Structure 1
Amino acid sequence: MDYLDSFSAFAAGLSFDELPATVRKHAGWILADTLAAIVAGAAEPELRSWAALQPSGPATLVGLGQQTQPVLAALVNGTAGTFLEMDEGNRFARGHPAVHVLPSILALAQERRSDTQSFLSALVAGYEVGSRLGAASQLRGSMHPHGTWGTVGAAAACARLLGRDAAAMRETLNVASSMTIATSKRTMLEGGLVRNVYAGLSNQNGYLAAQLAGCGFTGERDGLRSLFGAIVSESFDTGKLMDGLGTDWHLAHNYFKLHSCCRYNHGTLDALDALQSREGLPAPQDIERIEVVSYSLAAELDDTAPRNTLAAKFSVPFAVATRLVHGSSGLASFTWDAVRNEEVQALARKVSITEDPAMTKRLPHERPARITILDRGGRRWVGEAGVNRGDDAAPYTPAELEAKFLELTQRAWPAAHCHEVLDATHALCAGQVSMEAWFLLLRQAPAR
């Protein structure tokens, strides 16, 4: 039995009700948080225009009150979930496992009328497969992580939902490895909205990979090693892939986001928050310049004049400026109004960011940043952050996560319905609500 046999057997045999209670509870928050990101993203005008073109079918476009074909629901919901940069992530995977998995199994579970345990087992199996592949790989520097290993995670989740055995799971993973896409990091840096489709394509292609494997299609003997060892990735470490499999759960080491932007901004924003708590912040008009020092990935986000809301979410100068002007780094600080705000634009031009190699070496356990603000009177304001808030080492409280869920979902639904969906999602994970009752709640049309 090689590593891929063992990996496939793990995914095929995973049972949600046999997981530790703490893992099951945390999976409930991941499910709720990802669902909220999808609902909120579905309110964006580009997404709504696209959704209106889809044919009818049995699977829900969450937050839109529409039904379409399952494979298209996987695509559209997966795209919606990344629009606002509020979906959870995993620092070891260096990406966002849940949004690459949930839309595919939401669609498939509705199509197949799956039971709760199969659905939740599939969610965890897909998360672990995708996240571990991300951790074991070193994607080429020019690639965006969305749309890569997440495709295999989605396929694993669909195969688990369908009850595939270990051999069929292996074949599904091998098929899926050839269905990842070529992604460009420049899309996120330049604000190319096509970047949001990458996760949608992972869900669509993962769904298709499971379908194809069930029809007799085959892949390479070891597609994971082939793809991630030589094609999209510089290296593939099977030791990291298998380390702690079934005992050390990647989903328990995830992070949640309250800053409405790329995770690479969060160290700087956490440093600003800490500085404000300690000694306050200068008024934007009193600032002479701002210097940020951080790790390599954050230093790439150096655009001082982002062209749209997506580019703004991948800009440290903009994130700092909008946080200082608006007093918040939430959703409202990354809208078109914020991007067009002349005060924010002027302040962003005063922000510089550079890499500190010593900070880069602290990855992945920390994502550090130091911000220095120099005001017109000559005073220096300095804030620092190491572990980012939202990580398992510095988690948000349940109350903070609930507030985030309600803020996001109220972009589409009335407050009372949002509370009902959150309660039902946790109850689903506790075995107290049926899949059909939960799906019925998700079919709610947006408030007009």
Structure 2
Amino acid sequence: MNYLDKVASFAHSLSIFNITEEVRERVKLLILDTFTAIVVGNQHLEVSQLADSVTSFKSTGNNELGFILGTNMLTDYRTAAFINGIGMVSDELDEGNQIAKGHPACHYFSALLMLALQNKKSGSDFLTAFIVNYEISVRMGASVQLKRSIHPHGNWGVFANGFGVGKLLGWENKNDYIQAAMLSTSFSMPTLWQSVLEGHQVRNIMIGLNNLHTTLLPDLVESGFSASAFTPEKIFNGVLADSFDTTYITKNLGEEFYLLSSYFKFYPYCRFCHSPIDATLSLIKGRKIDEIKGVYIETYSSAAKLKEQKVENEFAGKFSIPYAVAMELSNRRYPLINGREKERKIQELMKKIFVFEKKLYTELLPNKRITTVKIEWENGETNSTTVQRAKGDIDEYKLTEKVILKSKEYLFPILGEDKVERFIETVLKLDRVEELTTVIKPLVKEI
């Protein structure tokens, strides 16, 4: 049995009854956090303008309606999957997985949700399909070593979508799972780090397209469309990646759940920025940031490339360690300052923050992700610290409580306390929810 057969067998056979309570609870937390990221992201000007431009084409049948979460907009379910997918990654608040080296859920979540709503699936159906999609996605991410110029949004994450969709819809033919996966993999995007670092949001669109394409898979498979079973090898072994090892895809599949290794974001920046933020904040304590002469950050290679001390816009800042650190320091020192004055202070502080690669830290990847921060003060003093984790890692103290609090803090201003409390309560009992519309109703503003 080759790796595709093994993956299809896992997807087909996984049952809610052989998923442990620990895995169920973590999945519900991931789903809660993902909904939060979508609602917050959908408030962005670019996303709301795009949503407004496409929602004039509204479906005439209730069965086709798709909700743009966190708004009062309705459209067809495929367009909703597209817009919600973009929103999910627009604010850099979505979950991630260190084993996968990226963000598995963003590639499929909004598509799976819309398909579940259209097909009147239960909460447990959605939860089980989410797990199938996530576990295969993480292993695919671990199997692929992308080229340095390729960003991990839009490519390896789509391989698992055919298996997740097949599970959600209850397909019996395992070859349908495989063909859906080969079609989905064929839609891999050559997302460039260069565009991200320059502040272009095209990679967000690619995630939206991933989700839109995923909603097409059932119709494509049923209509007889197909793709080569060698598609992953050809795309990820020389085109978008330098190497692809299929042995990782089936490693402990069904026995060990890698979603338990996922992390949650408590800062709205690329994950590579989080450890430097944590370390710098721990060194500042009660001192004034105006007394900083220089901040020197040593980290591993993939994080060290986020070193720009001048960014074109706020989105580019989400992928700049100097910007992220300066912003978080400024938010604590000047919480009431906005506009040009705050921007000026952030720019001044960024010029004092320097990021370097430390070869030893790179060599310790992926088992350890180490960052050292040293602050030099105007009076000549220095202090430094080294961290091997970031806030939101799997060992985070009271992680569940903190993720719930994060959702409340972000969603209360958008939807109101009553709706948000009801939403959180429903998600945390998702495996007992018979109709998914009860989950998303609190996330829809009055129409």
TM-score by length of 2: 0.93
1:360 aligns with 2:362: yes
Q: Hey, what does 1:435 align to over in structure 2?
A: 436
Q: Distance in 2 between matches of 1:86 and 1:255?
A: 11
Residue by residue over 1:266-295, the C-alpha shift from the partner in whole angstroms, topping out at 9 and shown as x without a partner, is 11112123334xxx2531211111111001
Are the aligned partners of 2:111 and 2:212 in contact in 1 as well (CA < 8 Å)?
Answer: yes
Q: Hey, what does 2:314 align to over in structure 1?
A: 309
- Aligned CA distance change for structure 1 residues 38 and 182 (closer, same or farther; 3 Å): same
Q: Hey, what does 1:8 align to over in structure 2?
A: 8
Letter in 2 for 1:270: D
Letter in 1 for 2:93: M
Q: Distance in 2 between matches of 1:210 and 1:273?
A: 49
Are the aligned partners of 2:67 and 2:74 in contact in 1 as well (CA < 8 Å)?
Answer: yes
Are the aligned partners of 1:136 and 1:236 in contact in 2 as well (CA < 8 Å)?
Answer: yes
Alignment of 1:259-278 (within 5 A): 259-276=267-284
1:282 aligns with 2:287: yes
The CA deviation at 1:411 is 4.3
Are the aligned partners of 2:86 and 2:207 in contact in 1 as well (CA < 8 Å)?
Answer: yes
Tell me the SS of whatever aligns to 2:355: strand
Letter in 1 for 2:420: C
Letter in 2 for 1:377: N
Are the aligned partners of 2:162 and 2:179 in contact in 1 as well (CA < 8 Å)?
Answer: no
Of 296-305 and 149-158, the range deviating more from structure 2 = 149-158
1:213 aligns with 2:218: no
Q: CA RMSD in A?
A: 2.1
2:246 paired residue among 233, 238, 241? 238
Alignment of 1:5-404 (within 5 A): 5-54=5-54, 55-57=57-59, 58-165=65-172, 166-276=174-284, 280=285, 282-327=287-332, 337=339, 341-394=343-396, 397-404=399-406
Q: Hey, what does 1:408 align to over in structure 2?
A: 410
Letter in 1 for 2:321: V
The CA deviation at 1:395 is 5.4
Are the aligned partners of 1:413 and 1:445 in contact in 2 as well (CA < 8 Å)?
Answer: no
The CA deviation at 1:153 is 2.9
Are the aligned partners of 1:306 and 1:312 in contact in 2 as well (CA < 8 Å)?
Answer: yes
The CA deviation at 1:328 is 8.4
The CA deviation at 1:442 is 3.3
Tell me the SS of whatever aligns to 2:145: strand
- Aligned CA distance change for structure 1 residues 268 and 233 (closer, same or farther; 3 Å): same
Letter in 1 for 2:239: I
Tell me the SS of whatever aligns to 2:389: coil
The CA deviation at 1:340 is 5.7
Q: Hey, what does 2:62 align to over in structure 1?
A: none
Are the aligned partners of 1:173 and 1:224 in contact in 2 as well (CA < 8 Å)?
Answer: no
Equivalences, count = 439
Q: Distance in 2 between matches of 1:134 and 1:411?
A: 35
1:444 aligns with 2:445: yes
Are the aligned partners of 1:302 and 1:316 in contact in 2 as well (CA < 8 Å)?
Answer: yes
Q: Distance in 2 between matches of 1:134 and 1:394?
A: 23
Tell me the SS of whatever aligns to 1:354: strand
Letter in 2 for 1:308: N
- Aligned CA distance change for structure 1 residues 322 and 91 (closer, same or farther; 3 Å): same
Letter in 2 for 1:13: S
Are the aligned partners of 1:41 and 1:81 in contact in 2 as well (CA < 8 Å)?
Answer: yes
Residue by residue over 1:45-84, the C-alpha shift from the partner in whole angstroms, topping out at 9 and shown as x without a partner, is 1111110112223111111122211221111101000011
The CA deviation at 1:322 is 1.6
Q: Distance in 1 between matches of 2:377 and 2:325?
A: 15
Residue by residue over 1:109-143, the C-alpha shift from the partner in whole angstroms, topping out at 9 and shown as x without a partner, is 12221222221111111111211111110111101
Q: Distance in 1 between matches of 2:378 and 2:440?
A: 56
1:419 paired residue among 404, 421, 425? 421
Are the aligned partners of 1:108 and 1:207 in contact in 2 as well (CA < 8 Å)?
Answer: yes
Tell me the SS of whatever aligns to 2:160: helix
Tell me the SS of whatever aligns to 1:393: coil
Identity within the alignment, %: 28
Tell me the SS of whatever aligns to 2:366: coil
Q: Distance in 1 between matches of 2:386 and 2:278?
A: 8
- Aligned CA distance change for structure 1 residues 17 and 72 (closer, same or farther; 3 Å): farther
Are the aligned partners of 1:174 and 1:220 in contact in 2 as well (CA < 8 Å)?
Answer: yes
The CA deviation at 1:433 is 5.6
Q: Distance in 2 between matches of 1:434 and 1:379?
A: 61
Are the aligned partners of 2:96 and 2:102 in contact in 1 as well (CA < 8 Å)?
Answer: yes
Letter in 1 for 2:388: G
- Aligned CA distance change for structure 1 residues 64 and 190 (closer, same or farther; 3 Å): same
Q: Distance in 1 between matches of 2:388 and 2:308?
A: 23
Q: Distance in 2 between matches of 1:257 and 1:374?
A: 28
The CA deviation at 1:188 is 1.5
Letter in 2 for 1:16: I
Q: Distance in 2 between matches of 1:339 and 1:74?
A: 39
Letter in 2 for 1:407: E
Residue by residue over 1:366-400, the C-alpha shift from the partner in whole angstroms, topping out at 9 and shown as x without a partner, is 32111111111001021221022222234552221
Q: Distance in 2 between matches of 1:105 and 1:336?
A: 39
- Unaligned runs of at least 5 residues, structure 1: none
- Aligned CA distance change for structure 1 residues 396 and 270 (closer, same or farther; 3 Å): farther
